[in-house]
């Protein structure tokens, strides 16, 4: 099934920020991309951003010698005619998502996989109105979606294992780094890991343990580089004579930390405390400047990870 996908056009439904970046990634990998959005202004927005998106990908993966054609339509049937894979990027509202997936099905063949970019919704709920729910999967990217390699894949109660395997093979073939969850869980995989760390970071900023700048600095210059290359488990495995020795040696310390972890609620005082500290960390830099620095730095980091990463 994955070979068939790579031989045909890919559909992108929902052409906002995520959809546009998916389209750039698919095109750069040599695939024809057919995009749909009810708002025609999305195409004009993409045309403004296209050069920068493709330049990012050129810097990361090398110049695209055979970039695929990207087309756009406000008619879903026209956009999805003949596609062999669909990346859906609709609003994060379950009722709308259910209707959208059912509508997509009316315009594609029965063996076409539909992957949703949803960041939080459950696939079992999303596929409830589909006539072929077995081919509905989650294909959740990380922002900026054209650069970040991770794609989280998970199925619902009615998703077939073959659909998960085909989705994984497809994303791997275009240069992504997919992970497959064995069961549904709120927030999927990476967001839960981020959420656990961020809860503690917010609580420490709220309680004045350290500034937002120093909390972020502690991660960037502490575990961040090693975890970027090797992840937490392999990194800790190398911090002792194996992971078993590490957990025995440092287990009491981590248990003491876990027992003392703080709690956070995003109430008004917490939001204000974090926002005030963040404004100090940002200083006079604009969001556009920070975003440009991030994307440029990501290219360099990801190129290094592709050469030296353990995973």
Q: Which CATH number goes with the domain that contains 79?
A: 3.40.50.720
Q: Tokens for 32?
A: 């024809």
| In a shared domain, residues 31 and 155 | yes
Cβ-contact 11, 79 below 8 angstroms: yes
The predicted-structure confidence for 56-84, as pLDDT tens digits, reads as follows 999 999 887 789 999 999 999 999 999 99
| In a shared domain, residues 299 and 223 | yes
- pLDDT of res. 99: 98
| In a shared domain, residues 120 and 63 | yes
| In a shared domain, residues 18 and 115 | yes
Q: Which of 180, 214, 235 is the last residue of a domain?
A: 180
Q: Say whether 138 sits in a helix, a strand or coil.
A: strand
Q: Which of 130, 155, 180 is the last residue of a domain?
A: 180
| In a shared domain, residues 158 and 203 | no
- 90 confidence band (pLDDT: 50, 70, 90): very high
Residue span of the structural domain in which 56 resides? 2-180
- pLDDT of res. 4: 56
Average pLDDT over residues 290-294: 92
d(C-alpha 63, C-alpha 107), whole Å: 34
| In a shared domain, residues 113 and 210 | no
- pLDDT of res. 3: 55
| In a shared domain, residues 162 and 228 | no
Query: Is residue 185 included in any domain, yes or no?
Result: no
Query: Is residue 204 included in any domain, yes or no?
Result: yes
Q: How many CB atoms lie within 10 A of CB 272?
A: 11
Degrees to nearest 5, angle at CA 77 with 75 and 83: 120
| In a shared domain, residues 30 and 172 | yes
| In a shared domain, residues 216 and 134 | no
Quick one: which of 113, 123, 119 has its CA closest to 165?
Answer: 113
pTM: predicted TM-score of the whole model, two decimal places: 0.91
| In a shared domain, residues 149 and 229 | no
Q: Which of 180, 200, 234 is the last residue of a domain?
A: 180
- 5 confidence band (pLDDT: 50, 70, 90): low
The predicted-structure confidence for 209-257, as pLDDT tens digits, reads as follows 999 999 999 999 999 999 999 999 999 999 999 999 999 999 999 999 9
- pLDDT of res. 8: 83
DSSP string, 216-282: HHHHHTTHHHHHHHHHHHHHHHTTTTSHHHHHHHHHHHHHHHHHT-------HHHHHHHHHHHHHHH
Query: Is residue 108 included in any domain, yes or no?
Result: yes
The predicted-structure confidence for 119-161, as pLDDT tens digits, reads as follows 989 999 999 999 999 999 999 999 999 999 999 999 999 999 9
> For the chain, what is the total number of helices (H) and then of strands (E)?
13, 8
Cβ-contact 2, 169 below 8 angstroms: yes
Cβ-contact 138, 153 below 8 angstroms: yes
d(C-alpha 105, C-alpha 66), whole Å: 30
Quick one: which of 71, 64, 81, 68 has its CA closest to 31?
Answer: 68
Res 258 pLDDT > 90:
yes
Burial of 66 per CB tally in 10 Å (0-12, 13-18, 19+):
exposed
- pLDDT of res. 63: 83
d(C-alpha 303, C-alpha 221), whole Å: 19
H or E element: which one contains 290?
helix 287-308
The predicted-structure confidence for 159-189, as pLDDT tens digits, reads as follows 999 999 999 999 999 999 999 999 999 999 9
Res 1 pLDDT > 60:
no
Cβ-contact 40, 12 below 8 angstroms: no
Total tally of structural domains belonging to the chain: 2
CATH number of the domain to which 241 belongs: 1.10.1040.10
Quick one: which of 96, 91, 154, 144 has its CA closest to 122?
Answer: 154
| In a shared domain, residues 53 and 154 | yes
Q: Say whether 40 sits in a helix, a strand or coil.
A: coil
For all residues of the chain together, what is the average pLDDT? 94
| In a shared domain, residues 237 and 143 | no
- pLDDT of res. 237: 94
Average pLDDT over residues 7-11: 90
């Amino acid at each position: 099934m994955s070979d068939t996908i790579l031989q045909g056009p890919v559909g992108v439904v929902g052409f906002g920020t995520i959809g546009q970046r998916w389209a750039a990634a698919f095109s750069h990998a040599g695939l024809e991309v057919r995009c749909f959005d009810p708002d025609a202004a999305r195409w004009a927005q993409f045309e403004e951003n296209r050069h920068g998106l493709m330049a990012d990908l050129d810097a990361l993966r090398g110049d695209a010698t055979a970039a695929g054609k990207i087309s756009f339509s406000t008619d879903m049937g026209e956009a999805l005619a003949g596609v062999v894979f669909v990346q859906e990027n609709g609003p994060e509202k379950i009722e709308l998502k259910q209707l959208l997936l059912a509508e997509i099905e009316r315009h594609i063949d029965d063996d076409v996989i539909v992957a949703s970019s949803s960041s939080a919704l459950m696939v079992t709920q999303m596929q409830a109105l589909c006539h072929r729910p077995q081919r509905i999967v989650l294909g959740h990217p990380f922002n900026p979606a054209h650069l970040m390699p991770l794609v989280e894949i998970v199925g619902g109660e009615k998703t077939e294992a073959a659909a998960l395997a085909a989705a994984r093979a497809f994303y791997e073939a275009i240069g992504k780094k997919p992970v497959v969850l064995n069961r549904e869980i709120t927030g999927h995989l990476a967001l839960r890991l981020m959420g656990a760390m961020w809860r503690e970071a917010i609580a420490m900023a709220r309680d004045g343990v350290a500034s937002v700048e120093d909390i972020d600095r502690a991660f960037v210059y502490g575990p961040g580089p090693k975890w970027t290359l090797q992840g937490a488990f392999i990194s800790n495995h190398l911090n002792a004579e194996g992971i078993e020795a590490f957990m025995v040696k440092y287990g009491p310390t981590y248990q003491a930390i876990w027992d003392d972890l703080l709690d956070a609620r995003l109430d008004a005082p917490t939001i204000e405390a974090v926002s005030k500290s963040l404004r100090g960390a940002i200083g006079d830099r604009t969001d556009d400047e920070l975003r440009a620095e991030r994307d440029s730095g990501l290219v360099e980091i990801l190129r290094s990870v592709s050469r030296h990463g353990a995973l």
